[in-house]
A and B are shown apart, each in its own frame.
Chain A
């Protein structure tokens, strides 16, 4: 039904166009005066008498044609569809669309302009530069219609940069918007502004935003609270006068506003904890995230918290709450690391609970459990060691993120007895591992584990040399070569007994390299090998061959 309407309308318009055309040409024909060489001097004729009505006809014609053309301008959906249909010649299609867009931006009609801006926003997301259209975007932002404004503000938040000079043009417009009666218009401005606020804008608008903190609409209060954080980041001088008002919002009746205020204060506290200690009592009711940041500074606060938190940990079944509590306890206990004996119990409790997390089949909980364990490891390694078997198990997990976390933990868990076993497992992993990041990580860990505390845990240096040589023949990212090489040299220099063995092994390496031209052996290792052969040539039975190969 609708299609018929449109077709009828269009055909109606086309009839008008044809009639107009006929009118003009008929009228014009009688006024032709064939001048020199048969030129048609339209100008003279149109200028003298009767020209006005012709002009009106032509303008009307243009308008009608324009209207129809505008109806067929591509909107965003068409653009998306067009790009999907033109995958082979995408660049060409898009440059054609850009031309159309530029054409549309030249029109006076704001609706047409905002259609163009909407398309530009999409293209910008695909990676095309639209900074040339800044003025047009501002034009659309200044529309009185919410629909068009929305398009403009979205485009601005995606494409404006806080260092752009264009922003100066927007100050008054945004100020007007912030004070609008319509809460959604103000909301638009706030959301958009948060993406590109500059120091100048922050300074100029901070009072307006501050006023909004007392708006009757919770929607606006909430946005204004979050906005203040952005203002503080760019214009720190605004913080001092604004802070009392912000504190009030911590007790705002609307829970959304309250959370926003807590959010902001937490972020501020992270940056500068000293100033926020006074707020601690208020917060206890709301959120224990803040405590994690504060407790390093205020040990008494920490001690007070342990008990309620421990109770929470015992009683709660909600995993996310458990996790947050454990994190906080850890943060607290790290800060009172002068070790109060009764807190050992709390640590044990945490570790126990973390074990449950790690054993859970949910991968996310495993990850978080391992993450928290690493934090405990730093100050209470013994508590973690009891769970070595579990960690080793995690090494076998298919999930790379989990394996990386488990690797991190291993560092604190090795002993003389299990070193070789662990390294063997790790090397097996390396064979199977696909990504170079993981392999590099494995390699660094192996070397780290083995060399920690002056090779405290290595009982058999010959074994270690073989490990190094084997590692040298595997493929790694470019930086690891010199690590292996350095290790080889270090061990040989310090452990005299091992030299003869080591030199034989490295000579073999050189042999392998020259005879099979296996380029998988890294340069730095060869360099180290060559150096060793040269330095300790006395240990070699048949020095000539390796020396020649060097």
Chain B
């Protein structure tokens, strides 16, 4: 089992079950052929016959588990919007983008779905919101971001270990014992 990528559990399931649900979902969906329909009757753990899994496979699987009140075609549409948004935000999104930037994927998803209910499906609106929030973050990071980015590039060298190995003199015992 390779990547579990982004999971968002809206209904509260006990933690142990969450992993099982993911495993079961993965097993059910990965057995599907390429040209079958995108709807799967849900497995036993997710509420049984009331629930369906709706998924979309381009090169990646996006699985939504919905109850009977949702329109199946509407959800497929939603997945489409989600994928297109990811594409715009990551510039030709690929699997690695999603793996390394799970937090950003979550932020994007949060503009489409809130607490398990569809929030917005208009792409322009969604993209505007995401852009605004990214701008906020950039403003806050300011100049301080520069060395941080440079450091990411340097992290391959084993400098950290050398730093950790520097031995400092001990604080004198009296200072250590000081209480404030």
A residues neighboring B (CB under 8 Å): 2-3, 5-7, 9-10, 14, 17, 21, 24-25, 28, 42-43, 46-47, 51, 55, 58, 61-62, 65, 68-69, 71-72, 75-78, 80-81, 84, 118, 121-122, 125-127, 129, 145-147, 150-151, 154, 158, 161-162, 182, 184, 190-191, 194-196, 219, 222-223, 226-227, 229-230, 255-256, 259-260, 263-264, 266-267, 270, 289, 319-320, 323-324, 362-364, 366-368, 398-402, 404, 435
Q: Are B110 and A191 in contact (CB under 8 A)?
A: yes
Flag the segment in B37-45, B58-66, B80-88 that touches A: B37-45
| A222 CA / B27 CA spacing, docked (Å) | 36
A435 and B88 CA atoms in complex are apart in Å by: 39
Which residues of chain A are within 8 angstroms of B107 by Cβ–Cβ distance?
Answer: 150, 154
Which residues of chain B are near A145, meaning CB under 8 Å?
140
Classify the interface of chain A: helix, strand, loop or mixed.
helix
Produce 1/0 per residue, B145-167, CB < 8 A to A.
01111111111000110011010
A447 to B103 alpha-carbon distance, docked (Å):
51
Judging by beta carbons under 8 Å apart, are B155 and A78 in contact? yes
Q: In the complex where A65-B163, A68-B163, A125-B102 touch, is A401 in contact with B40 (Cβ < 8 A)?
A: yes
Chain B residue numbers with a CB within 8 Å of A324 are 71
Residue pair A21, B169 in contact (C-beta under 8 Å): yes
B41 contact set on A, CB distance < 8 A: 401, 404
Q: Can you name the residue of chain A whose Cβ is closest to the Cβ of B164?
A: A69
Asked whether, in the complex, the Cβ of A263 is within 8 Å of the Cβ of B33, the reply is no
**B interface, by DSSP: helix, strand, loop or mixed?**
helix
Do the beta carbons of B102 and A320 come within 8 Å of each other?
A: no
A46: which B residues are within 8 A, CB to CB? 172, 174-175
Name the B residues within 8 Å of A219 (CB-CB): 129
| List of A residues within 8 angstroms of B8 by Cβ | 158
Q: Which residues of B contact A323 (CB under 8 A)?
A: 73
Contact between chains at A43 and B172 (CB < 8 Å): yes
Given contacts A125-B6, A147-B141, 11 further A-B contacts (CB under 8 A): A3-B150, A47-B172, A58-B171, A61-B168, A65-B166, A71-B148, A72-B160, A122-B102, A127-B15, A320-B74, A362-B37
A-B residue pairs in contact (CB < 8 Å), sample of 17:
A14-B163, A24-B169, A43-B173, A71-B148, A76-B100, A80-B100, A154-B107, A191-B115, A194-B114, A227-B115, A256-B120, A363-B38, A364-B76, A367-B39, A400-B36, A401-B40, A404-B41
Interchain CB contact under 8 A, B132 and A184: yes
Interface string of B1-19 (1 = CB under 8 A from A): 0001011111010010011
B12:A162 contact, CB within 8 angstroms: yes
Give A72 to B110 CA distance when docked, in angstroms. Answer: 30
For A362, the chain B residues whose CB sits under 8 A away are 37
B146 to chain A, nearest CB (A): 7
Nearest chain-B residue to A13 (Cβ)? B163
Given A6-B147, A227-B115, A398-B33, A43 contacting B73 (CB threshold 8 A): no
Contact present for A363 and B103 (CB under 8 Å): no
Q: How far apart sit A3 and B149, CA to CA, in the bound complex (Å)?
A: 10
Residues of A close to B37: CB separation below 8 A: 362-364, 366-367, 399, 401-402
CA distance A150 to B134 in the complex (A): 11
A158-B8, A226-B115 known; A25-B172 Cβ under 8 A: no
Given that A147-B141, A324-B71 are contacting pairs, would A127 and B103 also be in contact in the complex, using a CB cutoff of 8 Å? Answer: no
Cβ–Cβ < 8 Å partners of B114 in chain A: 190-191, 194, 223, 226-227
Bound: A410/B106 CA distance, A: 43
Q: Closest residue of chain A to B73, judged by CB? A: A320
Q: Does the CB pair B120–A72 fall under 8 Å?
A: no
In the assembled complex, how far is the CB of residue A374 from the closest CB belonging to chain B, in whole angstroms?
13
Alpha-carbon distance A24/B4, docked complex (angstroms): 52
B174 cross-chain contacts in A, Cβ below 8 A: 43, 46-47
Q: Which of B35, B73, B103, B125 contacts A154, CB < 8 Å?
A: B103
In the bound complex, residues from chain B placing their C-beta under 8 Å from that of A368 are: 72-73
CB distance from A14 to the nearest CB of B (A): 8
Kindly provide the distance from the CB of B115 to the nearest chain A CB, expressed in whole angstroms: 3
In the complex, which residues of chain A have a beta carbon less than 8 angstroms from the beta carbon of B110? 154, 191
Instruction: Give the Cβ gap from A331 to chain B, nearest Cβ, in Å.
Output: 12
Contact flags B75-115 to A (C-beta < 8 A → 1, else 0): 01100000000000000000000011111001100100011
Q: Nearest Cβ in chain A — how far from B141, in angstroms? A: 7
In the assembled complex, the Cα of A62 lies from the Cα of B39 at a distance in Å of: 59
The answer on a CB contact under 8 Å between A69 and B160 is yes
Could you tell me if B69 and A25 are in contact, using CB atoms closer than 8 angstroms?
no
| Residues of chain A lying within 8 A (CB to CB) of residue B7 | 125
> Distance (Å) between the CB of B156 and the closest chain A CB?
10
Q: Is B143 close to A, CB under 8 A?
A: no
Q: How close is A142's CB to chain B, nearest CB, in angstroms?
A: 16
Alpha-carbon distance A223/B111, docked complex (angstroms): 10
Residues on the A chain within 8 Å of B132, using CB: 184
Top 8 A-B pairs ranked by shortest CB distance? A194-B115, A363-B37, A399-B36, A2-B150, A72-B160, A320-B73, A46-B172, A367-B37
Measured CA separation A226–B154 after assembly (Å): 45
Instruction: Please indicate the chain A residues that have their CB under 8 angstroms from the CB of B120 in the complex.
Output: 222, 256
Residue A363 contacts which of B31, B35, B152, B173 (CB distance < 8 angstroms)?
B35
The one of A2, A76, A191 that contacts B153, using a Cβ cutoff of 8 Å:
A2
Separation in Å of the A180 CB from the closest CB of chain B? 12
**Complex: chain B residue closest to A292, CB-CB:** B69
Q: How far is the CA of A297 from the CA of B103 in the complex (A)?
A: 46
Identify A151's interface contact among B6, B100, B103, B173, CB under 8 A.
Answer: B103
* Closest beta carbon of chain A to B39's beta carbon, Å: 5
In the bound complex, CA of A359 to CA of B172 (Å): 85
Tell me, yes or no, whether B118 is within 8 Å of chain A by CB. yes
Closest B residue to A434 by beta carbon equals B31
User: Which chain B residue shows the least CB distance to A75?
Assistant: B152
**What's the minimum C-beta distance from B28 to chain A, rounded to whole angstroms?**
10
Is A72 a contact partner of B169 (Cβ separation < 8 A)? no
> Which chain B residue shows the least CB distance to A218?
B125
Q: A81-B100, A118-B103 are in contact. Are A6 and B172 (CB under 8 A)?
A: no
**A81 — which chain B residues lie within 8 A by C-beta?**
100
Interchain CB contact under 8 A, B119 and A71 = no
Residue B122 is within 8 A (CB to CB) of chain A in the complex: yes
Within the assembled complex, what's the spacing in Å between the Cα atoms of A14 and B120?
52
Would B73 and A399 count as touching, CB distance under 8 A? no
Q: Which residues of B contact A320 (CB under 8 A)?
A: 71, 73-74, 77
Q: Would you call A147 and B140 a contact (CB within 8 A)?
A: yes
**Nearest CB of B to A436, in Å:** 12
When distances are taken between beta carbons in the complex, the residues of chain A under 8 Å from B169 are 21, 24-25, 28, 58
**Contact A76:B102 (CB < 8 A) given known A219-B129, A366-B37, A401-B41:** yes
